[in-house]
C-alpha cells in the first residue's frame, strides 16, 4: 500500500513495505469501543471503522 512507503527492488514485481507507525494501546481501545458499539447496532459503526482504518471511506 502507498502509505507503507513501498520501495522498489531489483525485481519490478517485488516491493518492500515499511510498517505503519501506530500506538497499539490506542488501537486496542478503539477496537474495544467498536466491539461494544457493534453489539448495540450503533449507527456510528462506519465512522468508527473509518477512524481506525485510515484507508476506509464511508
Position 3 in a domain: no
Position 43 in a domain: yes
Residue 4 has pLDDT above 70, yes or no: no
HEC profile for 18-48?
A: CCCCCCHHHHHHHHHHHHHHHHCCCCCHHHH
Position 40 in a domain: yes
Residue 1 has pLDDT above 60, yes or no: no
Position 26 in a domain: yes
In tens, the pLDDT along 32-56 reads: 999 999 999 888 999 999 999 888 8
- Looking at the chain, the whole-number percentage of residues with pLDDT higher than 70 is 91
Domain total of the chain? 1
The mean per-residue pLDDT over the stretch 14-36 comes to 90
Position 4 in a domain: no
Domain range for residue 45? 21-58
Distance CA 41, CA 7 (A): 41
What is the pLDDT, as a whole number, of residue 47?
93
Amino acid at each position: 500500500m502507498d502509505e507503507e512507503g513501498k520501495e522498489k527492488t531489483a525485481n519490478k514485481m517485488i516491493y518492500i513495505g515499511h510498517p505503519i507507525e501506530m500506538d497499539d494501546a490506542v488501537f486496542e481501545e478503539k477496537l474495544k469501543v467498536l466491539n461494544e458499539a457493534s453489539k448495540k447496532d450503533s449507527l456510528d459503526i462506519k465512522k468508527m471503522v473509518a477512524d481506525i482504518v485510515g484507508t476506509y471511506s464511508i
